[in-house]
């Protein structure tokens, strides 16, 4: 896959937080790419570095966060080398972002119209009247009824679902090439979730956008994404297209995630959780970060960190099981974890 097809390529991104207790490597060598017009899902537990990766792309990290290294290529250019001014031209214009909390993501003292217009006026240089018309048009686009009235309302006058629609209107007002959606439906109730996801997908097709969907919900991934990057403790552990991931997950962590989902196609009395907890960022395991929780972990896993290796279909995996060095059972089947867990 060459870079002209990819709108975004992240290479070995490292982002750290410098706290009193020392450096916390929130994102530690993350790599993935997003083909133009496609959707990538970034999946992982809380604290796996999903949101930090997203904020790194727009260089919106709050202190004491800092990008330590790597490359973020957007349309072929490494935007990590961009100045603050150049980044401002990208934010909200080429790359937009919507956030998890629609209730707090809009400024309470400005009308929704003003907040949509701000983006339009910064990036498209329209005057007030034109920008307002455009704002109304955007509200209509995201399915808000009577947009002429809503445009002059304040966020507190809108429901959570409506506010997330407004956020989407702000994000899409300048026809961005890429939308980063950071858990856009987590704070919404289920019926509204589906509406918002449908809306994003519909607008993606209409505007030919690429989407980076950050979520911990595999259901959302299955429904919306073309590719998936599974993140664990600041690293990508598996990357593949969505069909392969669901049909044939390879990383024991991905398998664990899928097993912990309720299913209606098979009989099951209890959900299978992944044992243990995410390692503390202050005290990362020496070897594979998932090793302490992995039912298949061997000496090799605990001692050294596997590389992210791509196969001929660009499906990537960070696991010793798929390497030649693997020192465990050569016939191991990662889908067989139940028996293993019981033994361990």
Partner 1 sequence: MTKFIIRRLLQTIPVLLGVTILVFSLMHLIPGDPAQIIAGEAAPERQVEQIRERLGLNDPLHVQYGTFLGNVVTGDLGTSVRSSRPVADEIGARFWVTVELAVYSTILSVFMGLIAGIVSAVRHYTLTDVAIMVVALFGLSMPNFWLGLMLIQWFAIGNWIPESLQPFLQMRASGWGDDWRQVILPVITLGTAGAAIIARMTRSSMLEVISQDYIRTARAKGVKERVVVYQHALKNALIPVVTVVGLEFGALLGGTVLTETIFAINGMGRLTIDAIRQRDFPVVQGTVLVISVLFVMVNLLVDISYRFLNKRIDLN
**Shorter beta-carbon distance to partner 1: residue 62 or 190:** 62
Three-state DSSP string of the chain = CCCCCEEEEEEEEEEEEEECCEEEEEEEEEEEEEECCCEEEEECCCCCCHHHHHHHHCCCCCCCEEEEEEEEEECCEEHHHCCHHHHHHHECCCEEEECCCCCCCCCCCCCHHHHHHHHHHHHHCCCHHHHHHHHHHHHHHCCCCCHHHHCCCCHHHCCHHHHHHHHHHHHHCCCCCEEEEECCCCCCCHHHHHHHHHHHHHHHHHHCCEEEEEECCHHHHHHHCCEEEEEECCEEEEEEEHHHHHHCCCCHHHHHHHHCCCCCCCCCCCCCCCCCCCCCCCCCCCCCCCHHHCCCCCHHHHHCCCCCEECCCCCEECCHHHCCCCCCCCCCCHHHHHHHHHHC
β-bridge mates for residue 55, sequence order: none
Give the nearest distance from C-beta 344 to partner 1 in angstroms: 42
Give the nearest distance from C-beta 141 to partner 1 in angstroms: 17
Give the nearest distance from C-beta 58 to partner 1 in angstroms: 6
**Shorter beta-carbon distance to partner 1: residue 119 or 254:** 119
**Shorter beta-carbon distance to partner 1: residue 97 or 139:** 97
**Shorter beta-carbon distance to partner 1: residue 173 or 193:** 173
Neighbours of 251 (CB within 10 A): 27
**Shorter beta-carbon distance to partner 1: residue 91 or 150:** 91
Please state, in angstroms and as integers, the Cα–Cα distance from residue 39 to each residue in 122, 143, 148, 251, 262, following that order: 27, 22, 32, 21, 24
Give the nearest distance from C-beta 96 to partner 1 in angstroms: 7
Contact 3, 76 (CB under 8 A): yes
Q: Which residues contribute to the site for partner 1 (CB under 8 A)?
A: 58, 60, 62, 84, 88-93, 96-97, 99, 101, 104-110, 115, 118-119, 122-123, 154, 156, 167, 170
Give the nearest distance from C-beta 104 to partner 1 in angstroms: 4
**Shorter beta-carbon distance to partner 1: residue 105 or 210:** 105
Give the nearest distance from C-beta 184 to partner 1 in angstroms: 13
Give the nearest distance from C-beta 122 to partner 1 in angstroms: 5
Give the nearest distance from C-beta 277 to partner 1 in angstroms: 27
Give the nearest distance from C-beta 317 to partner 1 in angstroms: 32
β-bridge mates for residue 227, sequence order: 40, 241
**Shorter beta-carbon distance to partner 1: residue 149 or 243:** 149
**Shorter beta-carbon distance to partner 1: residue 62 or 342:** 62
**Shorter beta-carbon distance to partner 1: residue 31 or 96:** 96
């Amino acid at each position: 896959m060459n870079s002209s097809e990819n709108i975004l390529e992240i290479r070995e991104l490292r982002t750290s937080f410098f706290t009193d207790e020392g450096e916390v490597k929130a994102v530690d060598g993350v790599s993935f790419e997003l083909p133009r017009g496609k959707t990538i899902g970034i999946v992982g537990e809380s604290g796996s570095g999903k949101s930090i990766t997203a904020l790194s792309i727009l260089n919106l990290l709050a202190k004491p966060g800092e990008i330590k290294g790597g490359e973020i290529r957007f349309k072929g250019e490494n935007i990590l080398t961009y100045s603050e001014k150049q980044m401002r031209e990208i934010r909200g214009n080429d790359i937009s972002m919507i956030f998890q909390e629609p209730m707090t993501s809009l400024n309470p003292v400005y009308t929704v119209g003003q907040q949509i217009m701000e983006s339009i006026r910064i990036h498209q240089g329209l005057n007030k009247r034109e920008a307002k018309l455009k704002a109304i048009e955007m509200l209509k686009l995201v399915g808000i009824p009577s947009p002429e009235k809503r445009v002059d309302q304040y966020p507190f006058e809108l429901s959570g679902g409506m506010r997330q629609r407004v956020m989407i209107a702000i994000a899409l007002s300048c026809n961005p090439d890429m939308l980063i959606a950071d858990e856009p439906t987590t704070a919404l109730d289920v019926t509204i979730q589906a509406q918002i996801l449908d809306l994003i997908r519909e607008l993606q097709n209409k505007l030919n956008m690429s989407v980076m969907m950050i979520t911990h919900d595999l259901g959302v991934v299955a429904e919306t994404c073309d590719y998936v990057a599974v993140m664990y403790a600041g690293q990508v552990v598996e990357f593949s297209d969505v069909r392969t991931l669901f049909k044939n997950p390879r990383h024991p962590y991905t398998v664990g995630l899928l097993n912990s989902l309720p299913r209606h196609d098979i009989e099951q009395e209890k959900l299978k959780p992944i044992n243990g907890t995410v390692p503390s960022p202050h005290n990362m395991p020496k070897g594979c970060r998932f090793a302490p929780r992995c039912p298949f972990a061997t000496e090799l896993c605990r001692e050294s960190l596997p590389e992210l290796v791509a196969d001929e279909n660009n499906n990537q995996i960070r696991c010793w099981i798929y390497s030649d060095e693997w020192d465990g059972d050569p016939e191991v089947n990662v889908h067989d974890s139940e028996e293993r867990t019981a033994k361990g």
